[in-house]
Structure 1
Amino acid sequence: MLIKDYLTNEVEKIIAMLDFEDFPEMHKYLASIMDEEGFVRTSSYEIASSLIKCDEPQELPGFMIDFITDLYESEIADGNADAMNDLGSQYYDGSRGFEQSIEKAVNLYQQAAENGSRQAQENLGYCYYYGRNMDSPDYEKAFHYFALGAFDGHLISLYKIGDMYLNGYYVSKSEKEAFVIYMRCLETMTDEVAEIVAGPVYLRLGKMFLYGIGTKKDYKHALACYQRAEAFIYDMVAGGNVMYRKSLDAAIKGQDKAREKLMENLPDDEWVFDS
């Protein structure tokens, strides 16, 4: 953790440099952590975690990137696993002006995972699943890390295990098992978790109901799932998760296909009314 006097001086400098019109939330937050005597009493990790969420998704100026990075690194030096994971996530995403470096991200995730961070273990699952910073995917390690997250209630880890059953990655392919897992995600989902999980899960279920994958075809359920997927994924993309743009397009196209199938099942007879 940064020394209090040094941290106070740095916060004062940042407030002076920060444009209030461009970053009102950030400016107000920094002003709020100064006590009556003008000192910062908040931890470096809490400051970094709060700043990274302010004024999203606007890109941050270089001096703010440096400041947030310094805050995280000071906590990492003290063994803070959450700081390791969070800084790793900034490098992984490369958003808001942060350098994108999968290599740095994986290294930090590994440090955090070794120090007990369940979120870092889930993030490593993603890295091994997609082969980030490695020659090819390692589905065995991906399953291992997703299982750790799923056992601890992480629904992203759970639905990724569903994907592995759906595709037969490391485990024996079972579309029915994948369907059960996706439905389980919906059953145990809280409103907070739904913001990042519901969209992808509903998108998968929409496809399964539409084509009869792991369950019976049900075009009405398919349409409802695709509609819910669109609503949740739209908010994700609007909030800065542009990587889900293709998923948003898929949810919209899925609705068109489901409606087409529903219309095909309507009777062809025309109603004739007596005059």
Structure 2
Amino acid sequence: MLTLNSTRGNKLEAYSQLLESSEHGNRDAKLMIGWAYLVGTTLSQDIGKSRLIFQELADLGISDAYMGLGLMYAAGLSVNASQARALVHYTIGALGGSVWAQMALGYRYWAGITVTTNCEKSLDYYRLVANKVASEVQMSGGTIVQRVRLMDEVDNPGYNSGILDNDLIEYYQLLAEKGDVQAQVGLGQLHYQGGRGVVQDPQRALHYFLQAADAGNPIAMAFLGRIYLEGSELVKADNATAYKYFKKAADMGNPVGQSGLGMMHLHGRGVERDYSKALKYFSQAADQGWVDGQLQLGIMHFSGLGVRRDYKVATKYFTLASQSGHVLAYYNLAQMHATGTGIMRSCSTAVELYKNVAERGKWGEKLMEAHAHYREGRMNEAFVIYALLSELGYEVAQSNAAFMLDKVSFCVGDVTLLNMPSNEMYVRALMYWSRAAAQGHSPAQVKLGDYYYYGLGTGVDYEIAAMHYRQASEQQHNAQAMFNLGYMHEQGLGMQQDMHLAKRCYDMAAETSADAKVPVTLALMKLSLFFTIKYLQEVGIHGKICCL
């Protein structure tokens, strides 16, 4: 699957070679081709071919092939959907070492999907995945996962997805080439870390950092230190060069440079191992709020390196680093909660933290791949990737898959979804909305209410609809849910008619969201008319009685 995530080289040529290698019996190449056919990476999507390849490889005991078959049964791709069969394939794949299958099972045992909820089993599977992710994290802090919601893009014109516009990037490139140091540093960091719709590109990062460093910028010097300390295919690791850049940056008070010097002294990279110096540099960086300084201080206090072992202080620094999103901070906190080290053991907290780490794996970049397909009108490819990531437990992928089933015309295999019975399409969407809602996504909870209210993919059930609206209203303060509850109270749907509760719900919706004020005003005018008519009726009846 490394080739599927590759962002370098000529992909067409690479897959041509893979196809040739696959035909000569290379199992790894055949597996990559199977995934490429499934998600439509470079090769034209052909889910039927993908299934045949996965089945052939599964018969040979290839664990990732079982993962592919599990996904097909889970999402109903080229086969009739069967969650039970999906579970069997995931289990075999996980036992064989498939990281994705382990992640899928971790999610299923956490959410209770076709299995009884089991926190300890979920913990075991998620820990396996988190261990792999943590072992591959470099100084950049892990993969930046861009979570774009299709529903928000369509329904909210002002929605900011965080993706940088190509014109804006080209503008900054123009500034950088003209010598603008801030533009050079910004582009260097963008290409070094990736994210915001931009893939990691070490070569471009090096180019811009060298330009800015030549102009005396300490941030660029510090990041050059990182690049030379880590080493890569592009730049050979060089401790002396790394130390030179870190020292220059640190002498100018830069926390990245200070943290880099701390790393070199902590591990004895090109300098004598010295815990006291490492502690000094990490403390300087942490005092400026730099996440790596906080993380490394947590590690030193946790392990007792140059200081007295203190789990309380370690937890403090890990928590600070996690607030800046460092994946290793989440990982270390998960380890502490999972083992009860220096803190009360909590399986549920550990699972949530491990899940966060697992979702920061390299495969998280496929969210942007799916979004790119969607924007290009390649709905088949987008949906399959969202379905894959949904099985891995990404809530945003579940919401997006549900949204596509709910709103978009697209085909999967030989089945045109718009030509299938509409209720079947809604049944699948209902499944994804349910999973997203269970993970706390408020609009998904409202969607579940809508599905039960209108009978989409299920029977009409006003009481269950009201339950979902109430949950979204009380737990996530969703204005739409409050408005819907108000209407149901007003009409007496699934509950006793109560105009006073209806007004209260409408008022709450208006207070929660400015967008709700217009529809609420109209609803309140209708209620006011109702109360007026009721009052006149009561006055009329009272007048007749008095006359008698």
Q: TM-score, with normalisation over the residues of structure 1? A: 0.61
Tell me if the contact between 1:85 and 1:120 (Cα under 8 Å) persists in the aligned partners: yes
Q: Percent identity?
A: 20
CA distance in 1, matches of 2:257, 2:154: 39
The answer to whether 1:86 aligns with 2:168 is: no
Query: Which consecutive residues of structure 2, in runs of 5 or more, have no partner in the other structure?
Result: 1-152, 345-548
Correspondent of 1:249 among 324, 328, 331: 331
Q: Does 1:21 find its partner at 2:105?
A: no
Contact 2:223 2:256 in 1 (8 A): no
CA contact (8 A) 1:200 1:229 kept: no
Quote the Cα distance in structure 1 between the aligned partners of 2:334 and 2:215: 41
Partner residue of 2:392?
Answer: none
Task: Please tell me the residue identity of whatever aligns with 2:156.
Answer: E
The yes-or-no answer on 1:146 pairing with 2:246 is: yes
Q: Which moves more between the two structures, 247-256 or 102-111? A: 247-256
Partner of 1:226: 315
* CA distance in structure 1 between the partners assigned to 2:299 and 2:342 by the alignment: 9
1:109 to 206, 209, 231: 209
Which SS does the other structure have where 1:258 is aligned? coil
- Cα distance, 1:120 vs structure 2: 1.0
Change (3 A) 1:119 1:200: closer
Alignment CA distance shift 1:135-1:81 (3 Å): closer
Q: How does 1:13-162 map to 2 (within 5 A)?
A: 21=156, 23-24=158-159, 55=160, 58-60=161-163, 64-134=164-234, 136-162=236-262
Q: Cα 1:76–1:168, aligned 2, differ >3 Å: closer, same or farther?
A: same
Structure 1 residues 114 and 174: alpha-carbon distance in aligned structure 2, compared to 1, 3 A threshold: same
Give 2:293's aligned residue: 201
Q: Could you tell me how far apart the structure 2 residues matched to 1:165 and 1:118 are?
A: 20
How far is the alpha carbon of 1:166 from its aligned partner?
A: 0.8
CA gap of 1:254–1:140, structure 2 versus 1, over 3 A, is farther
Amino acid in structure 2 at the alignment position of 1:227? K
Decide whether the 8 Å contact of 2:298 with 2:317 is kept in 1.
no
Q: Which amino acid aligns with 2:303?
A: Y
Per-residue CA shift, 1:111-149, capped at 9, x if unaligned? 111122221111111111111443531111111111111
Per-residue deviation, 1:23:
4.3
RMSD across aligned C-alpha pairs, in angstroms? Answer: 2.5
Q: Which amino acid aligns with 2:190?
A: Q
CA contact (8 A) 1:139 1:169 kept: yes
Mapped partners of 2:181, 2:154: distance in 1: 32
Measured in 1, the distance between the counterparts of 2:212 and 2:285 equals: 26
- C-alpha distance in 1 between matches for 2:302 and 2:322: 21
Residue of structure 1 equivalent to 2:490? none
**Greater C-alpha Rg:** 2
Q: Could you list the runs of 4 or more consecutive aligned residues of structure 1 that deviate by over 6 angstroms after TM superposition?
A: none
CA drift of 1:225 comes to 3.0
State the AA in 1 paired with 2:342: A
Structure 2 SS opposite 1:160: helix
Q: Distance in 1 between matches of 2:189 and 2:292?
A: 20
* Gap runs ≥5 in structure 1: 1-17, 25-54, 238-243, 261-275
CA contact (8 A) 2:226 2:242 kept: yes
Q: Which aligned pairs between 1:163-242 and structure 2 lie closer than 5 A?
A: 163-186=263-286, 189=287, 193-194=288-289, 197=290, 199-217=291-309, 219=310, 222-230=311-319, 232-237=320-325
Distance 1:23 1:234, change over 3 A: farther
Count of aligned pairs between the two proteins: 190
Q: CA deviation at 1:245?
A: 1.8
Q: Is the 8 A contact 1:129 1:139 kept in 2?
A: yes
